[in-house]
Amino acid sequence: MAEVTAELIKEVREKTGLGLLKCKEALVKTAGDISKAIEELRKQGLQAAEKRMGREVGEGSIFQYLHAGGKVGVMVELACETDFVARTDDFKELGRNLCLQVAASSPRFLTKEEVPAAEVEKEKEIYRAQIKDKPPAIADKIAEGRMQKFYADVCLMNQGFVKDESQTIDALVRGTIAKLGENIKVRRFVRMELGK
């Protein structure tokens, strides 16, 4: 068991941005293992983020981005609980990253719940027709997998983050909630492209 020194605590704090006491508790719990302590703090942060997601968001900011010499424009409304968090660098970075995502990936909807039922049924019908020779149980699983891919293409929150495909936009937002300790919600976005 490694001794939990001030240097170890400082290193974990620099990597996570969390308070000294939290960092020390995580290091004690993981016997001084920095990577395990950081992983433990991330788990705790994501659990706390889940609890915060129901809280009311009344502050925030609207972010904008112009791309390709003014040929593509994006606006994203990002809400949080307090104006203090709205002014933080992490919140602003999230807003900028969301604008880049919308510009690059052209989502049509915010969440899969916003996709019209008729469009969902049409997609399912197409997938079922493509796999009609398969047994029904297998066909349903294949169709469901293709629907998840469809949502990842057209819904912002389901898309893989353009800077790191290993995480979704939903995970990116949840990670920021965990880091800042406040509920954050993407309220809406607009993407305009010249001539379209």
CATH number reported for the structural domain that contains residue 120 in this entry: 1.10.286
E strands, 27-159, are: 59-67, 72-80
- 3-class DSSP state of 155: strand
- Percent with pLDDT over 90 in the chain: 41
Helix (H) / strand (E) containing 189: strand 184-193
132 within some domain: yes
Q: What is the extent of the structural domain holding 90?
A: 59-110+155-193
CB neighbour list of residue 91: distance below 8 Å, 6 or more residues apart: 61, 78, 80, 85, 176, 180, 184
**48-87 tens-digit pLDDT:** 555 555 667 778 999 999 987 889 999 999 999 888 989 9
Minimum mean pLDDT range among 38-42, 62-66, 123-127, 151-155: 38-42
**Domain identity same for 21 and 94:** no
**Domain identity same for 80 and 173:** yes
The span from the CA of 156 to the CA of 153, in Å, is: 8
Q: Which amino acid is at 177?
A: I
Residue 67 is predicted with a pLDDT of 87
11 within some domain: yes
- 3-class DSSP state of 2: coil
140 within some domain: yes
Minimum mean pLDDT range among 17-21, 29-33, 143-147, 160-164: 17-21
**Domain identity same for 103 and 174:** yes
Alpha-helix runs per DSSP H in 73-191? 83-86, 89-105, 117-130, 136-154, 169-180
